[in-house]
Structure 1
Amino acid sequence: MFFVAKTKLHSPLRWQKELRRFLPFLLSIIFTLVVSSQSISSAPKNTEILWDTYGIPHIYGKDAQSAFQAFGWAQMQSHGNLLLRLYGQARGRAAEYWGEDYLDSDKWVLTMGVPKRGKAWYKAQSSAFRSYLNAFANGINVYAKEHPDLIDDEVEVVLPVTPEDILNHLQRVLLFTFVVDPGRVADIKHTSAPGSNGWAIAPKRSASGKAMLLANPHLPWEDLFLWYEAQITAPGIDAYGATLVGIPVLAIAFNDNLGWTHTVNTHDGWDAYELQLQNDGYLFDGKVRPFQTTTFLLKVKQKNGLLTEQKLSVKSSVHGPVITHKDGKSIALRVVGQDRPNVLQQWWDMAISKNLTEFQKALQRLQLPMFTVMYADREGHIMHLFNGLVPVRKEGDFEYWQGIIPGNTSKTVWNKIHPYQDLPKVIDPKSGWLQNANDPPWTTTFPAAIKADDYPSYMAPRGPMYFRAQRSAKMLAEDESISFEEMIAYKHSTQMELAERILDDLIPAAQQQGDELTRRATDVLARWDQKADANSRGAVLFSFWVDNVDLDTVFSTPWDQKSPRTTPDGLADPKSAVKALTDAAQKVEKAYGTLDVAWGDVFRLRYGNLDLPANGGDGDKGIFRVVNFAPAGDGRFQAVAGDSYVAAVEFSQPVKAMALTSYGNATQPNSPHIVDQLQFFVRQKLRPVWRTRQEITTHLEERKIF
């Protein structure tokens, strides 16, 4: 439009004439530009994946179906071997493919009826969403067909992937790993229990006057728990976030209008029933009922490549499948969510929502079996929903339902689920902030906005509020104007709330009672910054002391719901606490040669080909920056779980966002994006999120056009 500047406007009248002369032409140009830009954003001619320099796929789909296909392709490029292995396990045929190590997994999947239910769930999808699942599976298969050299030979046996495989995997992850931990019922062990932090900050507590959201799940750094970060753009959607590998929609996400995260909530969605066996059946309401029996023929691959066969007979009662037979007793399992096939549709509709009303409309379907929903939006609303399928129970509190339930009466068998309006939630609390660190919903903010007495006693436990949650609430409550940068700094806090609570009692007791070694240990603790940063000296000693005591009995004042953020406190038995410190000091000095060894010298980030000093630690110590460690065999400990995907979002215009996928956004061999983000992790930083096409093309690594 340079011609306007070239025109000489000698008078207001002449200027008006020139404007009238050019106005139609200007309007036509503006109209053309607007229409063309809209057509580019809403209906591009091609579907493409723009890969940025951190291996994040930014998918531009000409329609939703094409976006799903591209997302399947993208997941294969980043995690193909893992994805196929997970789908093979979800079929219940992993032992047939890869040997006896997978036999317990197959038995668990088949006992829970996963493959059969996957077929039913696929039929229950809407025709549109069924086409989306078909497209995602097709993207996986097309990639594998075009790049067979990039997929391990041993996992190619899973191909071709079907849409039912996707739903099988979804069930295995959500219902039979998160809702029901198989480690508790089938001796399938995990390295660490899933956890999470989540914050929502209202404009009144935000330095910018805009709502903010912090997403921070803590999951094992392996297997079905790995996060995959992506952006999905197609007509009607432009969402950025992450999902677990193999899931075809974003599970934690934000768009220009709103965002949400999930935390693992104190939700009880399964129960174990003890059956009274009688005459080859079980006693129920005074009558003997026969078991329903289903027999599976399991194939198991031997080391020589041959297959052997063994039978698996699954007995079922009115409660559900029988999972154990011990000492003449049978335990049957009842699990929520098996009649809710539209989890993926709900997540998708959450991501395309434009405001709180639309978002809640999606939530009200109650397809997602568990997880807290922490929400914020550009209009300034924040929300905490204790989401989940909560059985309507006739009796008992939360603790009662954690035990083995009598299975001989219909009085203990639940069949109904609480509707959305029954679930604990708060929207726009007076405090201006919400937090959840896997604590019950009653402590989401202060003053309390959700009262436990207003809900059934089985809805969630009354307490306690553990130290990580106390630390979480403390940071929010003590800062009345939190900037985006401060929120990120708080996220990386390694301050040990437990140390703040107990050292004022432990140090004086040790100074009075201890020998020379104990007094030296006391000096180390007194100088320590009470953090678990890589260079913190004293954190290792304190951590060893914590391992030597029972946190349930060490305090003289137990946790009290009337003082949830200042209890527990005090030493119940100072003498034994000091002895535990002496023992810890002996172990530390023997193992590392000094009592004040740096945290990062002992606790390491060993992932891929990297071995770096760690920061952060176990949430039980009240550390908000959670990293879980396992012994590495050389006196050191290596990170195996914890901060996995992190996103900090401010709903300004435009949206401001930073994120990190700690272990990188790929696992395929030779990918440059295995552990390429771990350096940010070490420095306690997040990396920029690129969402606009200009930002993405500026940091473009690869383009794939379909």
Structure 2
Amino acid sequence: MNWKKSLKWFAVGAISIVAFAVTLYFSYTWYCVPAISGKIILPGLSAKVEIQRDQAGIPHIFAQNEEDAYGALGFVMASERLFQMDIYRRLGRGQLSQVIGKKTLEVDKIFRSVGLSHYAKKRLEDDPPSVRNPKMWKGLLAYLKGVNHFIKSGPLPFEFYLLGYRPRPFVPLDTYAFLGYMSYSFGIGLKQDLLFSQLGNKFSPEMMEKLRVEPDAIKKRMFANVNPLWKKLDSLFSLAGGAPLPSFEGSNAWAIAPKRSKSGAAILASDPHIGFSQPNIWFEASIHTPNYQIYGHFLPGVPYPVLGHNKDLGWGLTISYVDDMDFYREKRRGQKTFYKGSWVDLRKRHEKIEVKGQQPVSLTVETSPHGPLLDSISEQKDLAMKWTYHLPHNRMLEAIYKMGHAKEIEQFKEGVTYGTAPGLNIIYADKKGNIASWILGAIPIRPSHVRPDFVLEGATGQDEYLGYIDFSSKPSQLNPANGLIVSANARPPGSAKALKGAWNGIDRYKTILNFLEEREDWNLEQLKGVQTSNYNIEISWIRPILIKALESNNWSGGHKLAFDRLKNWDLQSNTESVGASIFHLLNREVQKLLLDEFSPAEFDRYCRLTALWIFYKRSLKQPNSKWWDLKETRGLTERRNEVVILAFKKLLKKLEKEGNDWSWGKFHQVTFVHPLGRSEPLDQFFNLGPMPAPGGFNIINNLRWVGCKGGHSAHAGPSTRRLIDFANPQQSFGILPLGTSGHPRSPFYKNQLSKYLKGDYRKQYLSRELIENNSLGRLILTPEK
């Protein structure tokens, strides 16, 4: 029986090892939680810096000058988010494989090929110190110095030990390349153009036009032929979309003029919609010096706030969705490409990708006059990418810096002119009562025949840009007569048809505007209800169409229950609502039948586009559209109502397997995914969720699904909610999905989650008095002696 005794001791030993590992993990993660009180020496400071933490854990930095403040910001941000910062910069620079391995090699190839780091480096090299804003540059260097001191002296997060590496010091190129990734995540062209060109070769021009966001009257194909091999390229772009960094997926923002507010001052509201992640993407902090003050939302690795406000002004943003990216099919002969009547040489650059556990991978990227050829990731070797990010005068970091340092509207407006990518709507309000909006980013001017949501011809010269729209000619608003500015990713109000974009439907824009027009005495408490509303005004005409189609049948049992719940639904997508479940799930079933000519891969890719919802609503209003005819019933011609009935029957078969709980929160759930939690079993260890969530796609509370493979799970939503009344900018309202810290043992790791899902807010403090009255700790950073 010795083997039994051996087995017993083996089990005891295994349990002891696991217990020791768990104890070590918990002990070390407690050790990594940053101190919020005490004294720390921070080299590079010229004077003492004080960091006060409020009750939500937000750091408020008080310094004698900006350089010291940015050094402190870099130190405190690294102490809370270092692993996130390192993964994000590696993504921008195409260096994930160096620490993760071959699993992310294709992602690195994509970002090396499109040139996020290459063009960022070129911009740094081409911008001599005489061109750079010296204060911006000094602030960046001070920030990075603070980050690097923490890397040298602080406890590294557990993730670094799990992956077995130590982060290298941060340099300016890391910040610039990461901003390149953010621009990439805004680009709709890479998701849309290749797919539309594939579909355009599959369907008639008449049917294809209906699939587009804004159909033209064109009755013939006018785009480059697409080889089926490009489906591989489209798949790789989808892979890049699954990289360990959330992408921007929409946004709401609005400004209310003094004449419509109870306080008599302008009001600003902003909630950018970004893919959910753990930690959440924004790092919230305030900075205070004798000459500068800002309450900001910072991106990890960037020292200047992308969202912010001070006592004088504030701003929010939404994705503009202007089409700033095109793909050209090149005509090539060896190392030359045909361009405007002659053969020109392709330029080459060589990249080396370090891969953990294997030899480095060499990558050669060719560039045509249009941009980088994506031959490194495509067998076709003739597809070029033209993108406003590649423009030499793209000074996005300076745009952010100038907006954050503006003291009045003209200074702020100047800052908006600096960036060429990404494309953003900037929504502005100030203490003087001004409200305004502008578009940040370059907007191409194309020939009238060009349809930029398809692949273009690179050889003929007929599809070339005619230039870029001047800033003064871009859509903008300043103190409109109705006292309201609303931005929700729809086509800019009053913009010319020549302006091309992959706009969202008007759902959120129309719903928000409808709410705001109802009164002229808005305050922040009332606006909380608007910003967290689970309502979409467009459903008020969509549901009757579905009901009319279904009521022709004499339903019984579960079918009658579902029909009654849909018919009596209050149009609110709350977690406990059964009517919301029936509505949203039925729409998906109808869409699958409506597009039954699509392959599963095509349907999922189209499902990722804003065009699907627009096409669906357009089809509901066209009951005899050819798209309603089902492929599987040859000899029959179906119309809208028949398809809706069939979809309803399919839905009920699925619901019957779900038991008695059909509440929306069962189907619509959110999970906050850690960069290392994208595969089993680490997902159970690192991720938060799933948990029921209100809202839904194109609802004001836009907790939305991205694609159709994940059912109705919410993959993106409000990354923060902000409400600022300039009658009292010293105390505003806001919320983050999780918290300010990336450390699981920190009290600020997920301390805002419950409030966020409930639609509640916390206070944001700007004045020193309010900060000190609500302080949990006081950390003093001192210079070296």
Q: TM-score, normalised by structure 1?
A: 0.83
Query: Structure 1 stretches of 5 or more lacking a match?
Result: 1-42, 443-449, 560-570
Cα offset for 1:632?
Answer: 13
Residue matched to 2:351: 296
Residue matched to 1:568: none
Aligned residues: 629
Residue matched to 2:477: 426
Q: How does 1:36-47 map to 2 (within 5 A)?
A: 45-47=47-49
Contact 2:46 2:68 in 1 (8 A): no
Change over 3 Å in CA distance of 1:232–1:364 after alignment to 2: same
Contact 1:192 1:628 in 2 (8 A): no
String of CA shifts for 1:342-386, please: whole Å, max 9, x gaps: 322221221222221221122233455410011111111111213
Instruction: Tell whether 2:64 aligns with 1:62.
Output: yes
> What one-letter code is carried by the residue in structure 2 that aligns with 1:510?
L
Q: After the TM superposition, which of the residue ranges 686-695 and 512-521 deviates more from structure 2? A: 512-521
Cα offset for 1:433?
Answer: 0.6
Contact 2:374 2:381 in 1 (8 A): no
| Larger Rg, first or second structure (1 or 2) | 1
> What one-letter code is carried by the residue in structure 2 that aligns with 1:189?
G
Question: What SS does structure 2 have at the residue aligned with 1:337?
Answer: helix
Q: After the TM superposition, which of the residue ranges 480-489 and 244-253 deviates more from structure 2? A: 480-489
Contact 2:388 2:421 in 1 (8 A): no
Change over 3 Å in CA distance of 1:459–1:576 after alignment to 2: closer
Change over 3 Å in CA distance of 1:369–1:490 after alignment to 2: same
Q: Separation in 2 of the partners of 1:642 and 1:155?
A: 33
Residue matched to 1:439: 490
Instruction: Tell whether 2:142 aligns with 1:139.
Output: no
Instruction: Tell whether 2:118 aligns with 1:53.
Output: no
Change over 3 Å in CA distance of 1:536–1:409 after alignment to 2: same
Cα offset for 1:423?
Answer: 0.8
Instruction: Tell whether 2:663 aligns with 1:603.
Output: no
Instruction: Tell whether 2:392 aligns with 1:337.
Output: no
Q: Separation in 1 of the partners of 2:250 and 2:733?
A: 21
Instruction: Tell whether 2:163 aligns with 1:163.
Output: no
Contact 2:187 2:324 in 1 (8 A): yes
Q: Separation in 1 of the partners of 2:589 and 2:546?
A: 14
> What one-letter code is carried by the residue in structure 2 that aligns with 1:337?
Y
Q: Separation in 2 of the partners of 1:576 and 1:76?
A: 54
Which of 410, 416, 426 matches 1:357? 410
Change over 3 Å in CA distance of 1:181–1:220 after alignment to 2: farther
Change over 3 Å in CA distance of 1:162–1:631 after alignment to 2: closer
Cα offset for 1:109?
Answer: 2.8
Change over 3 Å in CA distance of 1:379–1:182 after alignment to 2: same
Cα offset for 1:181?
Answer: 6.5
Q: Separation in 2 of the partners of 1:681 and 1:432?
A: 29
Cα offset for 1:395?
Answer: 3.8
Instruction: Tell whether 2:713 aligns with 1:627.
Output: no
Change over 3 Å in CA distance of 1:130–1:120 after alignment to 2: farther
Q: Separation in 2 of the partners of 1:558 and 1:138?
A: 59
Q: Indicate the percent of aligned positions where both proteins have the same amino acid.
A: 24
Cα offset for 1:113?
Answer: 3.1
Instruction: Tell whether 2:561 aligns with 1:520.
Output: yes
Q: Separation in 2 of the partners of 1:532 and 1:605?
A: 15
Q: Separation in 2 of the partners of 1:281 and 1:493?
A: 56
Instruction: Tell whether 2:254 aligns with 1:210.
Output: no
Residue matched to 1:391: 444
Q: Separation in 1 of the partners of 2:660 and 2:559?
A: 15
Q: Separation in 1 of the partners of 2:164 and 2:140?
A: 21
Which of 185, 193, 196 matches 1:177? 185
Change over 3 Å in CA distance of 1:557–1:536 after alignment to 2: closer
Instruction: Tell whether 2:374 aligns with 1:323.
Output: yes
Cα offset for 1:328?
Answer: 4.8
Cα offset for 1:45?
Answer: 4.9
Q: Separation in 1 of the partners of 2:77 and 2:549?
A: 56
Residue matched to 1:239: 294
Cα offset for 1:582?
Answer: 2.8
String of CA shifts for 1:80-104, please: whole Å, max 9, x gaps: 1111122233333321222112212
Change over 3 Å in CA distance of 1:102–1:62 after alignment to 2: farther
Cα offset for 1:387?
Answer: 2.6
Instruction: Tell whether 2:752 aligns with 1:697.
Output: no
Q: Separation in 2 of the partners of 1:403 and 1:611?
A: 37
Q: Separation in 1 of the partners of 2:694 and 2:96?
A: 37
Q: Separation in 2 of the partners of 1:685 and 1:599?
A: 20
Cα offset for 1:547?
Answer: 0.6
Q: Separation in 2 of the partners of 1:553 and 1:92?
A: 37
Contact 2:420 2:440 in 1 (8 A): no
Question: What SS does structure 1 have at the residue aligned with 2:527?
Answer: helix
Which of 635, 643, 649 matches 1:582? 649
Question: What SS does structure 2 have at the residue aligned with 1:587?
Answer: helix
Which of 686, 689, 698 matches 2:761? 686
String of CA shifts for 1:129-164, please: whole Å, max 9, x gaps: 222221111111111222134462347533111122
Question: What SS does structure 2 have at the residue aligned with 1:365?
Answer: coil
Contact 2:620 2:640 in 1 (8 A): no
> What one-letter code is carried by the residue in structure 1 that aligns with 2:124?
Y
Q: After the TM superposition, which of the residue ranges 376-385 and 525-534 deviates more from structure 2? A: 525-534
Q: How does 1:271-670 map to 2 (within 5 A)?
A: 271-302=326-357, 307-324=358-375, 328=380, 330-338=382-390, 339-366=392-419, 369-396=422-449, 400-414=451-465, 416-442=467-493, 450-452=494-496, 457-460=498-501, 465-516=505-556, 517-550=558-591, 552-553=615-616, 558=621, 573-594=640-661, 597-607=662-672, 608-609=687-688, 612-619=691-698, 623-629=699-705, 638-670=713-745
Cα offset for 1:636?
Answer: 8.6
Change over 3 Å in CA distance of 1:590–1:241 after alignment to 2: same
Instruction: Tell whether 2:716 aligns with 1:676.
Output: no
String of CA shifts for 1:268-291, please: whole Å, max 9, x gaps: 111111001224422122322222
Change over 3 Å in CA distance of 1:511–1:91 after alignment to 2: closer
Instruction: Tell whether 2:123 aligns with 1:126.
Output: no
Q: After the TM superposition, which of the residue ranges 511-520 and 311-320 deviates more from structure 2? A: 511-520
Contact 1:663 1:676 in 2 (8 A): yes
Q: TM-score, normalised by structure 2?
A: 0.75
Contact 1:541 1:585 in 2 (8 A): no
With a CA cutoff of 8 Å and minimum separation of 6, indicate the structure with the bigger relative contact order.
2
Contact 1:197 1:263 in 2 (8 A): yes
Residue matched to 1:33: none
Contact 2:429 2:436 in 1 (8 A): yes
Question: What SS does structure 1 have at the residue aligned with 2:578?
Answer: coil
Residue matched to 1:148: 155
